[in-house]
Amino acid sequence: MDISLIICTYNRADSLNETLISLANQSYEKKNWELIVVDNNSTDHTKETVNSFHDQFPNLIYQFEKKQGLSFARNTGINLANGEIIVFTDDDVLPESNWLEKIKINMEKYHCAACGGYIAPQWESPPPAWLTEIFYGFLAIKTDLNGPRQLTTSDELPFGANMAFRKEIFSTYSLFDTQKGRKGNELSSGEDSDMFQNILDGKETVFYFPEIKVKHKVEALRTKKNYFRCWRYQSSKNIALTSDFDGTRKILNIPIYIVKQTIQAIITACKSYFIDPVDISFRKEMIVWHFFGIIAGLMSK
């Protein structure tokens, strides 16, 4: 088997149906790749939706994973995978018809251990004026046309909606960290970037290929400021719960320097609302929510 494509899903049967329809039109020969759908505790009609595609995918596997969490679901898919290359996308993504073919060609050509690709937004409703490209990373959107190129820094790593790994990578660097990542309706992240960073630290090559393209559906609720605040807060809280922080001088388990940084971030954000464009000022507010999340995580340890 050349490729194992893994989709992890939770209560998004209708959106998943659109993703599977898109995948049914892949140019890559279906006998050479398998589709693994990991149902992470869905209570809707996810299983029935997947089963309705058995005629279109000769190598289709449905697996239920009761441990809640995207990392648990991804690891289940990896353990089931038979492909030399393991590809991930999400249940709200629409890949282009040559997506898998391009992944295979480019990974062979550049001999890379892992890669990511272009992720275009498909807006359910027009984004507000403040939602500019500086927020695309929070929505797992990557519209960078610069490439193919090797990635070397943490701020340019691929997103889970469009990423691929050689299977042996997971034997060498372990699986996804189950303490991190989204769990049910709880917004969080970090497992993707950790995996890629481990690969880079191991002196493996990671590439970005702009011709490997998907569309990522962006629901209207995800264009609201409260969504971004919640995402940043919960993600940063998870960081605090799973990381160690330096500093011996603490208040309620919070290092003094974090208290000072939080106060400075609040002052900076308040000033920004009067002097900066709307996108810049909200970006500075997001830093405040980052510190609020860090503090909440540290206090709950």
Going by C-beta distance under 8 Å and a sequence separation of 6 or more, which residues neighbour residue 147? 207, 208, 209, 210
**For residues 50 and 292, what is the distance between their CA atoms, to the nearest angstrom?**
40
Bridge-based pairing state of the strands 85-90 and 254-255: unpaired
Q: What percent of the chain has pLDDT over 90?
A: 86
Residue-by-residue pLDDT tens, the chain, 301 positions: 999 999 999 999 999 999 999 999 999 999 999 999 999 999 999 999 999 999 999 999 999 999 999 999 999 999 999 999 999 999 999 999 999 999 999 999 999 999 999 999 999 999 999 999 999 999 999 999 999 999 998 889 999 999 999 999 999 998 998 888 777 777 767 788 889 999 999 999 999 999 999 999 999 999 999 999 999 999 999 889 888 888 778 888 899 999 999 999 999 999 999 999 999 999 999 999 999 999 999 998 8
**For residues 19 and 8, what is the distance between their CA atoms, to the nearest angstrom?**
12
Closest C-alpha among 157, 189, 166 to residue 176: 189
pTM: 0.91
Torsion region of 73: left, alpha or beta (phi above 0 gives left; psi -120 to 50 gives alpha):
alpha
| 3-221 topology per CATH | Spore Coat Polysaccharide Biosynthesis Protein SpsA; Chain A (3.90.550)
Q: What is the pLDDT of residues 201-222, one digit of tens each?
A: 999 999 999 999 999 999 999 9
| pLDDT for the residue numbered 248 | 79
**For residues 258 and 212, what is the distance between their CA atoms, to the nearest angstrom?**
40
Q: What is the pLDDT of residues 227-262, one digit of tens each?
A: 999 999 999 998 898 888 887 788 888 999 999 999
* Chain mean position to CA 266: 28
Beta pairing partners, 142: 119
Domain ranges of the chain: 3-221, 224-299
| pLDDT for the residue numbered 174 | 87
Give how far Cα 191 sits from Cα of 15, 116, 235, 247, Å. 23, 15, 11, 25
Average pLDDT over the chain reads 94
